[in-house]
Chain A
Amino acid sequence: MEELILKLKKEIIEVLNLEDVKPEDIDSNAPLFGAEGLGLDSIDALELIVLMEKNYGIKLQDPNQGKEIFKSINVMADYISKNRTK
């Protein structure tokens, strides 16, 4: 799981252009969206949906599912480990 969490942090930094942010700067329990944590927005959420499909073969049909899955890096990694097809 630790390996997946680190990989996920690196992927998120890359696809969301989080320049100036390093994997160790991201608290795995902190919220990804909103003022706390990474402060991501609705377009970032859609980009994370693409990341899930492209890198892990998980297709979310309803963007609202993302609200639960993208709560934190830990929640996201847990969902990926249980549902990944690649």
Chain B
Amino acid sequence: MVIKLADNIYSPLGATTWENYQAVMGGKCALRQYSLPDGSLYTASLFPEEHRHDDGYTFFEQLCIVSASDAIARADIDPKSPRVQFFLSTTKGNVHLLSRRADASKSRVLLGSSASIICRHFGNPNPPIVVSNACISGLSAQIAAMRSIEAGLCDTAVVIGCDVQSEFIISGFQCLHALSPDECRPFDKDRCGLNLGEAAATIIYSNGTEGWIAESGAMCNDANHISGPSRTGEGSFRCLQALDIDKEKIAFVSVHGTSTLYNDEMESIAIDRAGLADVPLFSLKGIFGHTMGAAGVLETVLSMQAVEHGVIFGTRGYHELGVSRQVNISADNRITDKRSFVKLLSGFGGCNAAMKFSYNTSIDQPKTITSKPTDGTITSIRIAPTAEELVELYRTHIGDYPKFFKMDPLCRLGLVTTELLLKQSPKADYGVLLFNRSSSLADDTTFQATIQDRGDWFPSPALFVYTLPNIVTGEIAIRNRFQTETNFMVLDAPCADVMAAQIAIAAEQGPQISGWCDVDADGNYLAALVAVPQHTSKETIEQELNKILK
């Protein structure tokens, strides 16, 4: 079984998990009101300004290193071991560096580059895997870590979740009208938007039999819209169903609870449809804000603390039920003697994730991977078009999807390549797991231009929604109605070995459309994708990837 060895939370409320737990129990929060250049107000949980400096390591990297250092010391592991794998969960990393016109360190905006610097700090020899799957990144990374240990790819996984806030992110959410000027009110009838937050959190997993067990995880796409959640809670409902929950055994569902109208309503529907409406739930967003890439890890770690202390957290900011389903939520802390819980998240790109954790309880024997690799036929494709050639490919081979023209370059590339690949592949409900180096850098740069000049400060919502690399997986899911697992990983360089290993463990869940999909800062396009049947071996996938990655 995969168990937790140690953890850490480093937030404006404290530098350790214990300090953060005590702060929550003491009713503290670090939410404060700030203003944007256009005078609009927002509330966020931010580190003090004097902490925010980029010498040597950037502020983002410092948070990751401080958080991971504490967890690694507590776990008493050797991070230099080749059997230790680092996973970094983040959405935007060092994106704030884009605002500096003449900054030689702009390559640090690349998530893989920053992750390698963090990894090198600990002397770890393996290429770090960045999971950048919008707001569910923290659970996607933990699921990847859990499966990597189960598949024997590593003995220990260090999962760091972190995001820091910047004008880039805040103005983006502001132009989507998603931010509340005041403290947020998850699930409340008067909720009017989210608060952003910053934090780093680390959780370390290994094989074992005692302590916190990562029992199961699931990811499902709504295949509905790239920024709006499904009105029927489809993806979240499917995730909860996949976890096979015995509601008598779980203490609570730790929900996403961002305090936006649509998210909280969607979650209430998903929870009700899953038969969990009477199970207590809470959101931590009214204390920490939405910490994005850190959220999945931070909220998992705090939920573990709650169970260990027999507590169900109250939801700060909640007063009166404001969702259509009668879910079991309270402003006040409650008590529990149950030892399991569920963590639920959803994010842009239509992605949803859930995990179930249990503490020292006798659980059913974990599912062991008994399926033998079947090595069915893999199909593959490689294209490296110019922007104009890509439009020609669309017109020649697709032509009936005008939404194509509204997409950013990365989504256009992923969509067209997938269409071409599917024409030569068996029909199936494919999961989508894509990798690249540049993340959404081309779009990040274009969006930054809309906020670079104070006199011409008009952040573009249509550009901002594409500043997450996983949106391409959402566009592919929407086009093909894939209500399956979607995920996006960023590497410092294409590596068939690492990619094949992750694709193979994803392919245990179902067939996958997977591979490399990158648009770099100079506008160079490269897609090298494979369609992989379920239960395909890592070796077979790696062989095919080596042919098309060259």
**Could you list which residues of chain A lie within 8 angstroms of chain B, going by C-beta atoms?**
15-20, 39, 41-44, 46-47, 50, 53-54, 63
Contact = CB atoms under 8 A, between A and B. Distances in A.
A46 B458 contact: no
B99 interface: no
B494 interface: no
A39 B460 CA distance: 20
B549 interface: no
B228 A42 contact: yes
Contacts of B228: 42
Contact of A46 (B225, B226, B402, B461): B461
B461 A47 contact: yes
6 contacts: A15-B460, A16-B462, A17-B405, A42-B227, A50-B175, A53-B458
Nearest to B463: A47
A63 B461 contact: no
B405 A46 contact: no
B interface secondary structure, majority = loop
Contacts of A19: 405
B278 to A, nearest CB: 33
A16 B463 CA distance: 10
Nearest to A40: B406
Nearest to B177: A63
B402 A43 contact: no
A17 B227 CA distance: 18
Interface residues of B, number: 16
Contacts of B458: 50, 53-54
B465 interface: yes
Nearest to B450: A50
A43 B227 contact: yes
B279 interface: no
B454 to A, nearest CB: 14
Contacts of B151: none
A46 B450 CA distance: 15
Contact of A17 (B175, B176, B406): B406
Nearest to B404: A19
The 4 A-B pairs of least Cβ separation, nearest first, read A46-B461, A19-B405, A47-B462, A54-B458
A16 B406 contact: yes
A30 to B, nearest CB: 16
A46 B406 contact: no
Given A20-B402, A42-B225, 20 more contacts: A15-B460, A15-B462, A16-B462, A18-B406, A20-B405, A41-B225, A43-B176, A43-B226, A43-B227, A43-B462, A44-B462, A46-B176, A46-B177, A46-B461, A46-B462, A47-B461, A50-B458, A50-B460, A50-B461, A63-B177
B176 A18 contact: no
A25 to B, nearest CB: 12
A35 B277 CA distance: 35
Contacts of A41: 225
Interface string B137-172: 000000000000000000000000000000000000
Contacts of A47: 460-462
A18 B461 contact: no
Nearest to B178: A46
Contacts of B462: 15-17, 43-44, 46-47
A37 to B, nearest CB: 13
